[in-house]
């Protein structure tokens, strides 16, 4: 009697037989680019040709673009959390069902070869940028591929004056850039400027910064390859500073907000007053499209951040909680449900140390410099 294969084995055999009739190019372009990062990494062992192709920057970019969570307007699916010496990923498909801590994946702490504290500068296309508190270097890390590279500051990262750091991408030149904006008001110093590190060229350069503004404490955000941060101008009042990663220019937009965020692919601005409710304004092309009133249950201070919408229309935010005498007790991650009246807030995580959280999209993008690709 002929042995009958189990259903799973038969299905696997059918898939293998089907793949033998499909060209490698079609498999790579239409199938592998749509698979999760971990699956693609396993397929690198199929052959030397596949290893070379799947390791290329062209494939990494094609794979990233086909991710359903790549567009800025896509819902937040994964969070990167930097808390003290620990880093986590949180997969947020259903963020308020059960215990949110069950979604946390602690990342390998052996990556940190030094004891110096690292702060989260930003996440862009699957790359996480961490800056040393001493400003001596910064690290670009891809948690999905477990690859990282350390870049020296070469004295360009300034500890004095008002400072804004950011990490973003310019698609027109396929280049990732670290930007360090300094406004130094000391008369005897001339450190004011915008210091830019190009991963493609693997070097620093400086451009002038001649805007008479004072940076406000708050997290900068990146949208459509531009970095936004809040500032104050003595003549115009609250303004929003904008650095363009493509053309490397700094502009000033009238109107500011204590907290900036990217909500559904749009720039959001919030004003925070302890005695009043907070209002979040969402803008598209500088035009107001929506306002959401938030309860004062959560204290929004300088470490607060509006992170983005989930697939169910709720949205993540970080903030602080106070004790009975008004002292900051802990940092929190929570989720707002704007469909309820009043708006409901659910606390998901509490941290007793400094924490920064950003939207994260897994990718195959390499953290290493690519200056050799730009040479003729």
- pLDDT attached to residue 11: 62
Taking domain 78-374, whether its CATH number is 3.90.1150.10 is answered by no
223-251 per-position pLDDT tens digit: 999 999 888 776 767 788 889 999 999 88
- pLDDT attached to residue 349: 87
pLDDT at 296 over 80: no
DSSP conformation letters of 310-321: -TTS-EEEEEEE
pLDDT at 188 over 60: no
pLDDT at 375 over 90: no
* Rounded Cα distance, 8 and 369, in Å: 43
Residue 74 sits at the vertex; the CA angle it makes with 68 and 80, to the nearest 5 degrees, is 90
- Helix, strand or coil, per DSSP, at residue 211: coil
Q: How far apart are the first and last CA of the chain?
A: 66
64-98 per-position pLDDT tens digit: 999 999 998 999 999 999 988 788 988 876 666 67
Predicted structure pTM score:
0.86
- Sequence ranges of the domains in the chain: 7-65, 78-374
Winning range, highest mean pLDDT, from 28-42, 98-112, 288-302, 307-321: 28-42
Model confidence at 359, in pLDDT bands (50, 70, 90)? Answer: very high
- Token readout for 301 is 């201070």
Burial class (CB in 10 A: 0-12, 13-18, 19+), 247: exposed
* Rounded Cα distance, 279 and 281, in Å: 6
* Beta-carbon count within 10 A of 265 CB: 15
Name the residue with tokens 């971990």.
38
- pLDDT attached to residue 4: 59
* Rounded Cα distance, 160 and 372, in Å: 34
Query: Nearest to residue 181, comparing CAs of 209, 220, 203, 223?
Result: 209
pLDDT at 216 over 80: no
């Amino acid at each position: 009697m002929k042995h009958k294969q189990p259903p799973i084995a038969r299905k696997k055999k059918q898939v293998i037989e089907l793949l033998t009739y499909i060209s490698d190019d079609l498999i790579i372009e239409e199938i592998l680019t749509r698979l999760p990062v971990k699956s693609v990494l396993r397929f690198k062992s199929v052959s030397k040709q596949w290893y070379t192709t799947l390791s290329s920057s062209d494939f990494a970019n094609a794979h990233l673009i086909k991710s359903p969570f790549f567009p800025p307007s896509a819902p937040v699916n994964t969070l990167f959390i930097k808390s003290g010496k620990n880093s986590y990923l949180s997969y947020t498909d259903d963020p308020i069902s059960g215990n949110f801590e069950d979604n946390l994946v602690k990342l390998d702490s052996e990556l940190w070869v030094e004891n110096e504290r690292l702060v989260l500068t930003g996440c862009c296309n699957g790359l996480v940028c961490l800056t040393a508190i001493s400003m001596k270097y910064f690290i670009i890390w891809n948690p999905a591929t477990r690859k990282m590279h350390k870049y020296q500051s070469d004295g360009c990262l300034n500890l004095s004056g008002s400072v804004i750091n950011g990490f973003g991408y310019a698609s027109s030149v396929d280049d990732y850039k670290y930007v360090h904006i300094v406004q130094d008001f000391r008369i005897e110093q001339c450190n004011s400027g915008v210091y830019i590190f190009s991963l493609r060229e693997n070097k620093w350069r400086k451009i002038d910064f001649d805007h008479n503004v004072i940076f406000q404490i708050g997290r900068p955000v990146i949208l459509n390859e531009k970095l936004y941060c809040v500032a104050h101008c003595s003549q115009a009042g609250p303004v929003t500073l904008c650095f363009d990663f493509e053309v490397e220019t700094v502009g000033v937009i009238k109107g500011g907000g204590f907290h900036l965020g990217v909500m559904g692919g749009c720039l959001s601005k919030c004003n925070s007053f302890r005695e009043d409710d907070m209002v979040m304004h969402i803008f598209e092309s500088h035009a107001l499209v929506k306002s959401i009133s938030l309860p004062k249950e959560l204290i929004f201070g300088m470490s607060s951040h509006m992170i983005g919408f989930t697939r169910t229309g709720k949205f993540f935010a970080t903030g602080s909680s106070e004790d009975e005498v008004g002292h900051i007790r802990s940092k929190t991650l929570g989720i707002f449900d704007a469909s309820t009246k009043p708006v409901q807030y659910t606390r998901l995580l509490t941290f007793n140390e400094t924490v920064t959280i950003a939207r994260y999209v897994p990718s195959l993008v390499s953290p290493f410099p690519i200056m050799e690709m730009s040479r003729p």
